[in-house]
Structure 1
Amino acid sequence: MQKIVILDYGMGNLHSVASALQKVAPNDEIVLATTPEEAHGADRLVVPGVGAIRDCVEGFIRPGFVPLLNESIESGMPILGVCVGMQIMMAHSEENGGIDCLGIFPQPVKFFGKDLYEDGTHLKVPHMGWNQVQQKIDHPLWSGIEDGSRFYFVHSYYVPSENNDAVAGETNYGVKFAAAVARENIFATQFHPEKSADAGLQLLKNFVSWNGSF
């Protein structure tokens, strides 16, 4: 039995993530950790997130999750980021007037609703619904998932895929953006695998058996 820790820093409904993980890993221990101490002994880590980026970053820093995440990265522990849990790993977000994020990845987080078209038209936000994801790399978390499968998205901000060598999956909503990023033992998705039916459950199943390398 392994211990799968979901970091609970007050942002989003974590129970749907926990429920989906329990479904694909019924013999594993699923823990919602509100402190680094509760995450002790984790075999793999999940960083979820829903809401405003400022609140997410502050909520993540306050309990001491930044050192825990850094130590987990250094140790090679498999790590999964979901939605804003992916965005807080970036360098900077345009949300809330501009917020510095954790800087694990050097890319920015940009707003869908401006500066995409020269004629001044804007995309409707949030981007919500099922969209195809094109797999850009051969990664263990894509195992058993057909290229072009649909996943469920709800977001107004995005990580550009242009000049981004961390892109593991790409989607188009007026502009191509990173649906997933990967580096060493980190895999993070803009979409919600726990809400993405069979393809999402397969990705979570792959995560619970992933050794953290590719």
Structure 2
Amino acid sequence: MIISIFDYGSGNIKSVSKAVESAANNLQKNVSVQVIHDPKKIKEADKIILPGQGSFKQCAQHLRGIPGVVDELNDFVLNKKKNIFGICVGMQLFADFGEEDGGSKGLGWIQGEVKKIKIINPELKLPHMGWNEIVLKETNPLFQNLSEDKHFYFVHSYEFIAQDQINVAASTFYQDEITVAIFKDNIFGTQFHPEKSQKNGIQILENFISW
């Protein structure tokens, strides 16, 4: 199995790669973890991980700045129905639109928009940074075998507001309930960073490999 991490200049690639390798070793499966830059390499992958750090607009511009990458990703995800995992802004890019930095279009795979988290409580700050517990919305193969203490690591100021709540796989509470995981068919994404979330994060990566 080839799991390709697509590097478009907007993600914590080394940490993600090491975490996926650790998950594969735990499963004792024959998995090749590759960091790719060339859109043509997407065809060779069995599964794709799309990381993302920074602003929505910056990440969208970096991604679209690579000729052919959106077409290859659309073919991989929408036509071939292969599994993809978006992390942080990588997940946000699945939306139709992100309002950050004046706004920009997303990939439009899951209907919704990415908007700034509304904070009224002066004791709460943005970005929402550090450990927070998630609440699972439904039985999901990506959330199997987690510990009872479902804390994950976050760094973000914007949230994915899904048009259809059926696509919300998990939430957390920060001022109000906010979406932290998205799921639709072969598309999965988390706002939190599994590569920084210790045992539970590695478990989610193991689940993705086995999915």
Would you say the 8 A contact 2:110–2:162 is kept in 1?
no
1:71-130 CA-partner distances (Å, limit 9, x unpaired): 111212111010000111111112002222111111111112x4x54xx96941110011
Pair 1:91–1:122, CA change in 2 (3 A)? farther
- The whole-number CA distance in structure 1 between the counterparts of 2:99 and 2:148 is 30
- Other-structure match for 1:193: 194
Change (3 A) 1:94 1:148: farther
CA-CA distance at 1:147 after TM superposition:
5.6
In structure 1, distance between residues paired with 2:20 and 2:157: 26
- Partner amino acid, structure 2, of 1:46: I
Aligned residue number for residue 50 of structure 1: 53
Contact 1:161-1:177 within 8 A present in 2 as well: no
Contact 2:115 2:161 in 1 (8 A): yes
Corresponding residue of 2:92: 87
Letter in 2 for 1:169: A
Q: Whole-Å Cα distance in 1 between the matches of residues 93 and 62 of structure 2?
A: 11
Q: TM-score, structure 2 length as denominator?
A: 0.91
2:171 aligned counterpart, secondary structure: strand
Distance in 2 of aligned mates of 1:88 and 1:181? 11
Task: Name the SS of the counterpart of 1:159 in structure 2.
Answer: strand
- 1:66 paired with 2:63, answer no
Measured after TM superposition, the shift of residue 191 of structure 1 is: 0.3
Gaps of 5+ in 1: none
Q: State the alpha-carbon separation in 1 of the partners of residues 136 and 164 from structure 2.
A: 16
**Aligned pair partner of 1:104 in 97, 103, 109:** 109
Deviation, structure 1 residue 162: 8.0
SS in 2 for 1:191: coil
Q: Shift of residue 33 of structure 1?
A: 1.0
**What is the identity, as a one-letter code, of the residue corresponding to 1:184?**
D
TM-score, reference length from structure 1: 0.89
Letter in 2 for 1:85: G
Aligned to 2:144: 143
1:40 and 2:38 equivalent?
no
Name structure 2 gaps, 5 residues minimum.
Answer: none
Q: Please state if 1:124 is matched with 2:125.
A: yes
Question: Percent same amino acid at aligned positions?
Answer: 39
Q: Which residue of the partner structure matches residue 170 of structure 2? A: 169
CA deviation digits over 1:119-176, x for unaligned, max 9?
x969411100111111101111111014650010000111236853210001111121
